[in-house]
Structure 1
């Protein structure tokens, strides 16, 4: 089907067919039962919104029909399709498709079962806790930050109508910014754009209102109003109140200036908010409303500050969990024994709520926009009720293969759209690492997660391929020297990306963690967890590493007073990154020799590859003895191979304060690769 230019305006915009579906009017009429009012879930100046099922491959969608006399009109319809076709973020409402047929303008979105943030703030008996409201604020801020800092098309976007009614909530109360009919696109290299003033009173930036100069800080102002709505439970504009309280923004700022912050707080939230976090949250909102746009924070800064508040409040909430029960619960992972009396006192359901907040904070705000929260039902539907079980190509465990819609991640039929795999772990046996901004071509992409009934499910993209280990010594395709170097370069670039963020990614890095895709590119996987179990491969770790870990666990098991939380068992990132350098040296040694790091079938003195080969690395003449025969040309190693050997030797030094950095490793690998390419 060919793309069709829009007919309702003089624009030459071509509707995208690759990024969203184009539905016929007949399909829309069938899904909405000919626009039956019984299916209407919302109304506005634009027209009506219908909840529908069974359209395309989607089970539930929201259909927005723009009225022919709508103020939104064809220009805004075009803007919505144009912008959303460029966007992909977990905190933006996904556009599934559109219809532009016989003067009908219809937009089809993913369905948001929990409605709008405004709905929950106005409900008399709202069940949203302060922690959940903070999570929603963080999510909405991350969505706006993504808009401001540029989409995949490198265009900045100003929303221009940020408000609580345009923040939707999915089944897991994840915030989704919606309604892009008034956006302005293409402002990356400009400070402002002069435009007709549009928006909603109560949220509108006064500077924009008086000058017509629209900036990203206009969205920041509106978001400040949203924050005060969340804190107070009041409307942005309420003419039923006394005149000095009509506008929430002005009233809230006067109260804060008068030192009466307590009078702003929604009574339903009293007792849930710590005083320190309440002051910080109000401070963020107040700075967003600064009269000088240049003095307002960016949305990126707002995200960081809100995440800090959420982290502090989560720590406070964690502190009320029974320490005694927590210790016994954690110990049960190692001993297999649980004291029934302790178990009965342990408030596990509350801990799950805290885990959800922790996971959301860790990965829910990825700037690449790919993260989603999945429900039990969605994962079961996508994986054929967890029946499609396969062996992971990189770790020795079973995973579940499934299929989802490539934009909305809604479950689809087997073989349709995007292939995924689901990994199930025990929550308490893992430490979740921070994955914000972890978007890299050499990573297996983490798409989302689900927390349910004491289990944590992580959903990844499914990439056909096999591990580097199986290529080297598992009977997979033989790899040339250039191909091996290229794979090592990809792995090094991935680890360098993490190390620049001071993030130790692995308990131990191995060749089995490097997935080699069908194009022989390295894709790092399983870096989202650092396990606390004792099942460690000593051949990839320095002796100091084991002494360090043993000391930490010994203090845990013998000194209960020293135990505060699960996260104190984590290792220091700088120490862990040094161990990853050592492990990467082992990986390079396996790549060089084509041998396993430990092999029972080799002679006794050669079983441990590192112990056997390390003394030989100092002399270039020994290279032919240890290098994989498949890599040698006429019994001579490739040019530049000894430079790599020297790097490996430096990585494998058991004691050194300054091991090679990932930058050093990458530089040597690139040098060797270029030497080999010239030779070939």
Structure 2
């Protein structure tokens, strides 16, 4: 068994459950892959008792089982290959090869496998709510529109991870993406599963395809596969478009309804119905919930994914971003007066406000949101104990702005735990101030994968504390100064920051302190935006009596007249993008010239951008990619805020650059 696994590049040794503990704080993920003995499988399934069967498929039966892990009990799903299965060993080997190396919150975890004579068995984390397909088409589960949107977003993030973020050099084409392969956790988090048909594909392949006869599920398969024989990442995007329609209409990918002679594909059905009344397309359960603008955007996204020409379809990063913005748009619409919906008679009376409309300017930070009810208030004494009385040994060198300390706490309560028994957190000390209140109240309301998560806070007479998730790879500033980062990683970090900004700006939140030390990096070097001490929310323009921020990254317009706007964040982003390109600090040592001055001069005079590209990159980059990012950065740092792009435009441009010049 070990030799089989080793041949697929998976480093693991046979182990009992006690020798490879499964813990929530494991840095490899909640369920590290391991080899499992048949005796343990038999015990977990009560010798494959039929009463424990929770599903059947082309591969075989799936059992619900209980496995002992140290002192805890782990509920798992155990898939046993049927000896007469047409899928056979090839799909089993592919599943092991793919899933044993994948770790993402929206990918089902493969806990281990068992190979014993003719037995081939896979053990997964148990997804208690089953598949999306079951809820849509078998159980008749009541699924609200927000829940459906979030399921789509989760599935999109999983697919985006496969396509672009598994590793720098390769991605994975799923090839059988469908609602049956989207499984739901107890919390309704969606996870992509079933990798038996998946193929690895180098990310730098210009053609980006696998030549092979078409495999997959009818209704979800890209028609281009049959015309060209090419299976691409855009084939998965087509399948995702089908899923969007399936979620919207609650109609199977291929179905035969009463009065129809032949089964009809959902895409073809949609094409014939889309010009009719929306009442004929949207699932009746959710019609009253969908805002007009949200529906239009959702349908447009589905149509883009289903475009006849694969090259015209968006990549999954762009799909995810669109879904995020769409969800925020729906949330924003829900707060508008009258609670507009597409079927409401108020539609014409309450038009959706233009993003271009400016709110009246106000004085200093006025309207903070109420604290998030899920944000934990932690005892000061507990955090003092967890940080060993704020010991210098526990201090995090300035990864975060301010005095920040590492601590270990219980995940659910944030009570002190033994080192590495719980989860790592970062505890930031503040003197009581408006900045602490701003960060607590604003950041505590936010939930986005590219924004640092605020877990809790503590009040004390002379000192306040904030508790964040721990970021192991320092800040972008520190990492940039001490490590050589490839252009690919730099661009992905900037895309992460742009996603965070687009999210904030849609909520009319101005960060106000965008700079490299506020960009934190997780274990995968994914960017998370922190430093919300200067953040404001409410109107799109604030007039501040005191100008604050880091020199070089502050909007000159803000410095001169105190007007902090959404475009002030764009200026700071532009400077960071220039730093990513050049590797230089804001000020040049020679001729007392700023980075912005130099970049603007090169852009105006159309001189060769290569002269300021970070020499540490050597020639390991696409000049076209860097040049287009340079042009975008120069637009961001324009003296006139009106000439700067919006955060949504910045994000769209960066994602297009990344997709085109891998």
TM-score range, shorter chain: 0.5 to 0.7
Q: Cα distance, 1:397 vs. partner?
A: 5.3
Which residue of 1 is the match for residue 305 of structure 2? Answer: 288
The equivalent position to 2:108 in structure 1, one of 65, 75, 93, is 93
The aligned residue for residue 295 of structure 2 is: 278
Q: Does the 8 Å contact 1:403/1:416 carry over to 2?
A: no
Cα 1:163–1:575, aligned 2, differ >3 Å: closer, same or farther?
A: closer
Matched residue SS, 2:170: coil
Aligned match of 1:366: none
> Which residue of the partner structure matches residue 401 of structure 1?
408
Alignment partner, residue 49 of structure 1: 63
1:452-463 maps to which residues of 2 (within 5 A)? 458-462=468-472
Structure 2 unaligned segments of length 5 or more: list them: 14-31, 340-361, 412-416, 429-435, 458-464, 502-509, 537-543, 604-609, 619-662
Q: For the structure 1 residues 451 and 57, does the alpha-carbon distance in structure 2 shift closer, same or farther, using more than 3 Å as the test?
A: farther
Structure 1: how far apart are the matches of 2:484 and 2:113?
43
Query: Which of the two has greater helix per residue?
Result: 1
CA contact (8 A) 1:63 1:106 kept: no
1:35-184 counterparts in 2 under 5 A? 35-45=48-58, 46-55=60-69, 60-69=74-83, 70-122=85-137, 126-149=141-164, 151-152=166-167, 154-184=169-199
Aligned to 2:569: 573
For residues 386 and 80 of structure 1, the distance between their equivalents in structure 2, rounded to whole angstroms, comes to 46
- Give the deviation of 1:256 after TM superposition: 3.5
Written as runs of structure 1 = structure 2, the 5 A alignment for 1:515-664 is 527=530, 529=532, 531-532=534-535, 540=550, 548=558, 572-576=568-572
Shift of 1:229: 0.9
Displacement of 1:66 in angstroms is 1.7
Q: For residue 497 of structure 1, report the CA deviation from its aligned partner.
A: 5.6
Q: 1:287 to 1:127 in 2, by over 3 A?
A: same
Which position in structure 1 is the counterpart of 2:658? none
What is the aligned counterpart of 2:233 among 197, 202, 216?
216
Shift of 1:56: 6.0
Work out the CA distance in 2 between the residues paired with 1:192 and 1:85: 23
Match of 1:629 in 2: none
Measured in 2, the distance between the counterparts of 1:266 and 1:72 equals 35
Match of 1:598 in 2: none
Q: Runs of 5+ in structure 1 lacking a partner? A: 323-330, 339-345, 353-374, 405-412, 439-445, 469-483, 554-567, 590-642, 672-680
Worse-matched range after superposition: 257-266 or 299-308: 299-308
Q: Which residue of 2 aligns with 1:17?
A: 12
Distance, in Å, in 1 between the alignment partners of 2:170 and 2:148 is 30
Relative distance call for 1:447 and 1:170 in structure 2 (3 A) is: farther
How many residue pairs align between the two structures? 514
Classify 1:65/1:161 alpha carbon distance in 2 versus 1 (closer, same or farther; 3 Å). Answer: same
How far off is 1:98 after superposition?
1.8
The 3-state SS of whatever aligns with 2:216 is: coil
* Equivalent pair of 2:515/2:576 in contact (CA under 8 Å): no
Q: Secondary structure at the match of 1:180?
A: coil
Asked whether the 8 Å contact 1:49–1:63 carries over to 2, the reply is yes
Q: Higher mean Cα deviation, 265-274 or 152-161? A: 152-161
Matched with 2:354 is: none
Deviations 1:230-260 (Å, cap 9, x if unpaired)?
A: 0011222334533268334245324345434
Contact 2:65 2:78 (8 Å CA) reproduced: no
RMSD of aligned residue pairs (Cα, Å): 5.9
Helix, strand or coil at the partner of 1:220: helix
- Would you say the 8 A contact 2:426–2:470 is kept in 1? yes
Provide the TM-score with structure 2 as the length reference: 0.59
CA contact (8 A) 1:94 1:110 kept: yes
| Residue 329 of structure 2 is aligned to residue 312 of structure 1 | yes
Alpha-carbon deviation of 1:273? 1.1
Relative to structure 1, the CA distance from residue 486 to residue 501 in structure 2 (aligned partners, 3 Å threshold; closer, same or farther) is closer
> For residues 89 and 569 of structure 1, what CA distance do their matches in structure 2 show?
35
Partners of 1:508 and 1:540 within 8 A in 2: yes
Distance 1:288 1:544 in 2: 39
Which residue number corresponds to residue 226 of structure 1? 243
Could you tell me whether the CA contact under 8 Å between 1:86 and 1:152 is conserved in 2? no
* 1:418-429 matched pairs, under 5 angstroms: 420-421=424-425, 428-429=441-442
1:100: Cα distance to partner?
A: 1.7
Determine the structure 1 residue equivalent to 2:3. 4
Matches of 1:376 and 1:171 in 2, distance apart? Answer: 21
Between the aligned partners of 2:48 and 2:37, the Cα distance in structure 1 is 14
**Change in CA separation of 1:428 and 1:180 when aligned onto 2, cut-off 3 Å:** same
Structure 1 pair 429/311, CA: closer, same or farther in 2 (3 Å)?
Answer: closer
Residues 15/292 of structure 1: CA separation in 2 closer, same or farther (3 Å cut) = same
Distance 1:246 1:334, change over 3 A: same
- Which range moved further: 211-220 or 43-52? 211-220
Q: 1:96 to 1:512 in 2, by over 3 A?
A: same
Q: Rate the CA distance shift 1:428–1:246 in 2: closer, same or farther, 3 A.
A: farther
Report the CA distance between 1:464 and its aligned residue: 9.8
Q: CA deviation at 1:177?
A: 1.0
What secondary structure is seen at the aligned counterpart in 2 of 1:5?
helix
1:166: how far off? 0.7
